A and B are shown apart, each in its own frame.
Chain A
Amino acid sequence: MRGQKRFAWLMATPTIIALIALGIVPLGWMIWTAFQSFPPNPANPPQFIGMRNFVDLADDPQFFGSLRTTAIVLVFSLSLQLVLGFLLALALYSIERGRGLIVSLLLIPTAIAPIVAGIVWWMLFNARFGAINSFLVQFFGIDPVNWTIEMPTALIAIIVAVVWQWTPFVAIILLGGLTTIPRDVLDAARIDGASGWRVLRYIIVPLMRPFFLVVGLLMIIEIVRLYELPFFITQGGPGNETVVAGVYLFKLAFSFFDLGRASMMSVFLVIALSLVAALYMRLVADRRMTVN
């Protein structure tokens, strides 16, 4: 028994060391950095300044603007991703031949590097040369829209791109969930006279909750971390209207090279993300479910 325990520790130790080295230490260093001020010349040591970095952030309209924009993108993108992803999953579930090929093709947007997707969508939304305006002008006679430099179209452009890139991934996860529902349960409900809607409402959706939970959490994390897509589509404009948290964090860290404020914002985002995730889990999780 003792030998087994020792063996278990031996096997787990490399993972624990890696976790501490790659997870805990950087996190700890980030928290320490959040309370420091770094002089421009690194020959001078950093100074402990307490909450001053947070006070500076709170004084910065772009900080709150970026949180507001991120929240808007999160609410609209996540809702659309879950709804469209679920509809897509249902459609895929009903296909019996060629589903594998379709799934492979559907994953292409998710597999594309976000920086490439950002550039592609910037080109598509380009007011003068973009395909979207060409389509609208040619088929609907609509005047060209300045998608990326006016509100709310700039925000819509970002949401469209985010939904396009990640909805297939959501659909694949939810399709996996659908395949875990025993066919005979669905057949029995239909034999008992349940309509399609009632099957969906009272059988499929409840059984799918764990999958909505997992994929929703993944998408929340992804959207809060957004950087490349919005940066390349709008550069944060018009003005600062589409600066999301990820873009502003990058600016703080690398354009302004203010490591203290960047770390403080990161700490803030970790806390905010945890709260949002907890709220989402409370909304989605079945009370009878145990989520550890």
Chain B
Amino acid sequence: MTTTHLMKRRTFLHGSAALGALGLSGMSLKAGASEIYNTTLNIMSHPGQILPIYTHQAEFLKANHGITMNLLESPDPTSYQDALKDLRSGGGTYDMVMHFPRYNGDLVTSGYLRPIDDLIASHNAGALFDNISDTYRKLYCEWGGNTIAIPVDGDVAMMYFRKDAFESAEVKAKYKSEFGTDLAVPRTWEQFKQVANFFTGWDWAGSGKSGYGFQTSTWDRAFIEQQWAPMMASAGGTWFDENCNPAFNNAAGVRAADDLKSLLSAAPEGSASLSWGQTMETVFAEDVAMVLWYMDLGRLGWAENSWFAASGGPEKMAKFGYGPWPGYEVDGNYRNFNSMFYGRVAGISNFTEKPDACMEVMKTLLTPERRVLSMDDAQSGSDMFLKTDYTTDSFKVLTPSQEFLDAASNVIQNGFPEMNMPGTGEYMDSLQGELHAFINGSGTAQEALDRAADRWQSITDRFGRDTQIEAWAKVRASYVSAGLNISG
């Protein structure tokens, strides 16, 4: 069965489940059952555009539940470190923490995160959790069969393409004359490369300057794997085999790395050294035909006061169409995955003495009528993750199109997740280093991936191979549970 078939079936099932959940909404999806705690919670949050996830709920929680949130900001890359520092120093600094889901394995096996299934049951919050996108819930909110977190930001990257270019008669004619086939939104990475190269180096937008074929959110060393990993999985690879031997330094990994490297030449000059904000500036300042970017762009790129506005977002958004990432034909089957990297989740510390108040906060964050406040905000980075989020009816301030929301809903159901094994920081660092060196110029993909794989073997042995095999089995079980057709 292809991933496309799986996706369609899952789409149907999810929709049904969401309707079911909505049917219960008369009771369970409404916030405000008035348990009063009269307490203050220390909540660690990523800063900046992530804070509205909590600040929108501050007055409500205070008024209805007597909960005061003391928000302790921790920069995105170091929040996991702050959580582990809290653990090493005896715990108790935070009642709740926010982190990237890649650290679920570390935070659970170290004993920092508290399993919350008992709280879900005692708070009658099952319907709220059932309203979480199934993929996000299975892959990022559970570990070893236990629920350990809730999503607070449903980042998944999707493809944005310049509809005006793909629909232009002149452009289509030029493409047909060059390649003998019709110009279409690419379905495979081979097609993607061809189309990206086609759009690079000439003025297809009529803006008086040369356009480009491709841009992605980042080429940074610290994030490069998020671009490569879904491509590798689409090509038939995965992180590990069942014995915890690396399963990416093979034809699938090499195919993805070679394709990614070749795409750099279709991106605006100097892209490899740009930060996230700067790559987005290139998307708006230049004419880029295809962009792989997070859902923030389609959700709030239209807003006059969002962080995209300064770069010219609202004007350009009308020209974008939406779709999933391309994939690969593998043994006659089409496989495609989208990048699920860098969403955010929040969990409860094992050291808190106020787990019930924490669950009250979680319930509020998952209640559609409350949760929408941070999603429907041009200054907020919280993207969709509830089944009920993907409709224009949810939005009162922002104006994402239903076409975008439909595409986003499909994309999240077919996302390739971050690897969330214990030791993921070191695993990823070694992989990032080798990928970054290869993409920016040295050696072959096979050599780079082999070096990373050697390092992974050492890391696995240091953590204990049996322990890691057991952990990987749990991760693989979550893939199966989420319906992902990932090998390994």
Contacts and interface: CB of A to CB of B under 8 A. Distances in A.
A238 B440 contact: yes
Contacts of A56: 458, 462
Interface in B409-444: 422-423, 425-426, 429-430, 433-434, 436-438, 440-442
Given A128-B270, A237-B436, A257 B111 contact: no
Interface string B112-155: 00000000000000000000000000000000000000000000
A257 B222 contact: no
Contacts of A148: 273
B441 A238 contact: yes
B87 A127 contact: no
A86 B87 CA distance: 49
Contacts of B429: 251, 255-256
Interface string A33-67: 00000001111000000000000100111100000
A239 B274 contact: no
A40 B272 contact: no
Nearest to B279: A128
B437 A240 contact: yes
Q: Which of A40, A59, A147 has the most CB of B within 10 A?
A: A40
Given A128-B278, A237-B436, A255 B221 contact: no
B401 to A, nearest CB: 31
A237 B221 contact: yes
Contacts of B220: 235
Interface in A219-258: 235-241, 243, 251, 254-258
Given A40-B110, A40-B422, A150-B440, A255 B282 contact: no
A256 B433 contact: no
Nearest to A143: B269
Contacts of B81: 254-255, 257
Given A150-B441, A235-B222, A237-B436, A62 B278 contact: no
A100 B81 CA distance: 44
A149 B269 CA distance: 13
A256 B463 CA distance: 12
Interface string A147-173: 111100000000000000000000000
B400 interface: no
A81 interface: no
A274 interface: no
B129 to A, nearest CB: 26
Contacts of A237: 221, 433, 436-437, 440
Contacts of B441: 150, 238
Contacts of B278: 126, 128-129
B437 A256 contact: no
Contacts of A125: 273
A146 interface: yes
B469 to A, nearest CB: 16
Q: Which of B85, B106, B221, B274 has the most CB of A within 10 A?
A: B221
Given A41-B111, A149-B440, A127 B425 contact: no
A177 interface: no
B365 to A, nearest CB: 27
B269 A256 contact: no
Contacts of B272: 127, 146, 149
B437 A239 contact: yes
Interface in A64-118: none
Contacts of A60: 455, 458
B19 to A, nearest CB: 42
Contacts of B270: 126-129, 133, 144, 146
Interface string B206-237: 00000000000000111000000000000000
B453 to A, nearest CB: 13
A239 B426 contact: no
B93 interface: no
A259 B441 CA distance: 34
Contacts of B426: 255-256, 258
A58 B245 CA distance: 22
Contact of A255 (B88, B425, B433, B442): B425
A40 B462 CA distance: 12
B423 A147 contact: no
A128 B109 contact: no
Contact of B269 (A41, A61, A144, A236): A144
Contacts of B271: 128
For chain A, the bracket of interface size reads 35 or more
For chain B, the bracket of interface size reads 35 or more
Nearest to B106: A40
A62 B433 contact: yes
B268 interface: yes
A133 B84 CA distance: 41
Interface in B435-466: 436-438, 440-442, 451, 455, 458, 462
A132 to B, nearest CB: 12
B440 A239 contact: yes
A126 B279 CA distance: 12
A282 to B, nearest CB: 36
A283 B429 CA distance: 39
A241 B437 CA distance: 8
Interface in B398-412: none
Interface string A252-281: 001111110000000000000000000000
Contacts of B451: 61
Nearest to A238: B440
B55 interface: no
A43 B84 contact: no
Nearest to A255: B425
A2 B268 CA distance: 80
A256 B423 contact: yes
A126 B274 contact: yes
A239 B436 contact: yes
A238 B451 CA distance: 15
Contacts of A41: 109-111
Nearest to A56: B462
Contact of A126 (B106, B109, B273, B455): B273
Given A42-B88, A126-B278, A236-B221, A257 B273 contact: no
Nearest to A44: B111
A149 B439 CA distance: 10
A146 B273 contact: yes
A257 B83 CA distance: 11
Given A126-B274, A128-B268, A254-B78, 20 more contacts: A40-B109, A42-B110, A59-B458, A125-B273, A128-B282, A144-B269, A147-B273, A149-B273, A149-B436, A235-B220, A236-B433, A237-B221, A237-B437, A237-B440, A238-B436, A238-B440, A254-B81, A255-B426, A257-B84, A257-B425
26 contacts: A40-B106, A40-B109, A40-B422, A42-B87, A56-B458, A126-B273, A127-B273, A127-B274, A128-B268, A128-B271, A128-B273, A129-B270, A144-B270, A147-B273, A150-B440, A150-B441, A235-B220, A237-B433, A237-B436, A238-B442, A239-B433, A240-B433, A256-B426, A256-B429, A257-B106, A257-B425
